[in-house]
A = this chain, B = another copy of it.
Amino acid sequence: MAVYTEIADDELACFIAGYDIGNVVSLKGIAEGVENSNYLLVTDAGPHILTLYEKRVDPNDLPFFIGLMEHLASRGINCPQPVRNREGQALGMLAGRPAAIVTFLQGMWVRRPRADHCLAIGGVLAELHIAGEGFELTRHNALTVDGWRPLFDRASARADEVMPGLADDIRAELDLLESTWPTDLPRGVIHADLFPDNVFFLQDELSGVIDFYFACNDFLAYDVAVCLNAWCFEPDGSLNVTKARALLAGYQKVRPFTPAELAALPLLARGSALRFLLTRLYDWLNVPPGALVAPKDPLEYLRKLRFHRMVADVSAYGLIL
């Protein structure tokens, strides 16, 4: 995590006393996650996850995230379920931060995804999109096309420190995406960050999805593009077409793409690559003192962006048109 907040003994006891989850027998900080501080909280009722929401999360967004997890879980998605305290609240304050307890999901994230994992990812993403229907709250995607240039403006002056020519490259991409970005694709609630460390597997079966803190309303196919970039490239930067085909096939089996979605996918993949290039670039140039995680390489996403620029149509991702 980016920040690791110490919780004082008496504060924890007081917070937990408001819940009906038994006595605490263990609390350990988890060395995963970037936006928030996560703890494995074991009570005599079993394990839970305690999350403290750090500065990067807007407290006004928390009802959306908490409500979405409850909505999805009630629709059969295996995701953390917020635990409500005796007053019926799923959000409290602990160590000066908004805090929530959610249920513990079994499973581990996959360090080396295979095609069968990608097939499962496609399927669960489509299930998420369908399960998200009817969720009454909405949240604008701050990291879609209209958010990229303001983000770039905060990093552009130093972008060439990372790679000479990077600022010009990004600027040209922004110009193109802003003028060609689709406007009328099917919309809904998207996860927007379904990377391998946010999906658990248990003996090769997908057991759950976590970390809904980028979830928002946007094009459903944009979420597919995020997953293509996150799951289907090899460490050497090349697309694994077998994995991409599996991911798209897994999705299609649950929710068939519209022709407009298929046509837009290469462009959405460029946009998704630019989105992660930009946030990683910003983080790379702004490592906070005392950060507990090393920033991720922005250029990994430049390489993905360049791949998608060469793509003529969705057949490059293994899909037979």
Q: Which residues of A contact B (CB under 8 A)?
A: 1, 4, 6-10, 12, 23-32, 40, 42, 47, 104, 106-108, 110-112, 202-203, 290, 292-294
Task: Count identical subunits in the complex.
Answer: 2
- Chain A interface helix/strand/loop/mixed: loop
Tell me, in angstroms, the Cα distance from A104 to B28 when the chains sit together. 12
- The reply to whether A108 and B24 contact each other, CB–CB distance below 8 Å, is yes
* Residues on the B chain within 8 Å of A292, using CB: 31, 292-294
Contact of B112 with A9 in the complex, beta carbons under 8 Å: yes
A101 to chain B minimum Cβ distance, whole angstroms, is: 16
Closest-by-CB residue of B relative to A290 is B294
Instruction: Verify B27–A30 contact, CB threshold 8 A.
Output: no
11 A-B pairs in the complex with CB atoms less than 8 angstroms apart:
A1-B31, A9-B108, A23-B203, A24-B108, A25-B106, A25-B202, A26-B106, A30-B30, A30-B40, A31-B292, A292-B293
Bound Cα distance A104, B202 (Å): 22
What are the residues of chain B within 8 A of A1 when measuring CB–CB? Answer: 31
Contact B111 A25 (CB under 8 A): no
Give CA–CA (A8, B4) in the complex, Å.
25
Q: How far is the CA of A311 from the CA of B163 in the complex (A)?
A: 59
- Report Cα–Cα, A292/B107, bound state, in Å: 24
Residue A111 contacts which of B4, B8, B293 (CB distance < 8 angstroms)? Answer: B8
Q: What residues of chain B lie closer than 8 Å to A203, measured between beta carbons?
A: 23
The residues of B that contact A42 with a CB separation of less than 8 Å are: 47, 106
In the complex formed, the residue of B with least CB distance to A106 is: B25
Q: How far is the CA of A196 from the CA of B31 in the complex (A)?
A: 20
- Contacting pair B112 A26 (CB below 8 A): no
- Tell which of B23, B30, B110 touches A28, judged by Cβ atoms closer than 8 Å: B30
CB distance from A206 to the nearest CB of B (A): 14
**Minimum Cβ distance to chain B for residue A41 (Å):** 10
Bound Cα distance from A25 to B294, whole angstroms = 27
Smallest CB-CB separation from A26: which chain B residue? B106
**Pair B294/A27 contact, Cβ less than 8 Å:** no
Residue of B nearest to A12 (CB): B108
Instruction: Tell whether, in the assembled complex, residue A28 and residue B9 are in contact, meaning their CB atoms are under 8 Å apart.
Output: no
Given A9-B110, A42-B47, residue A4 in contact with residue B26 (CB < 8 A) = no
| Chain B: CB-nearest residue to A293 | B292
In the docked arrangement, what's the CA distance between A9 and B117, Å? Answer: 12
**Which residue of chain B has its CB nearest to the CB of A203?**
B23
Using Cβ atoms and an 8 Å threshold, which residues of chain B touch A104?
26
**Contact: A32 with B23, CB < 8 Å?**
no
With contacts A28-B32, A29-B31 known, what are 8 further pairs, Cβ within 8 A?
A: A4-B31, A7-B111, A9-B108, A9-B110, A23-B203, A26-B108, A29-B30, A31-B292
CB-defined contacts of A31 to chain B, threshold 8 Å: 1, 4, 28-31, 292
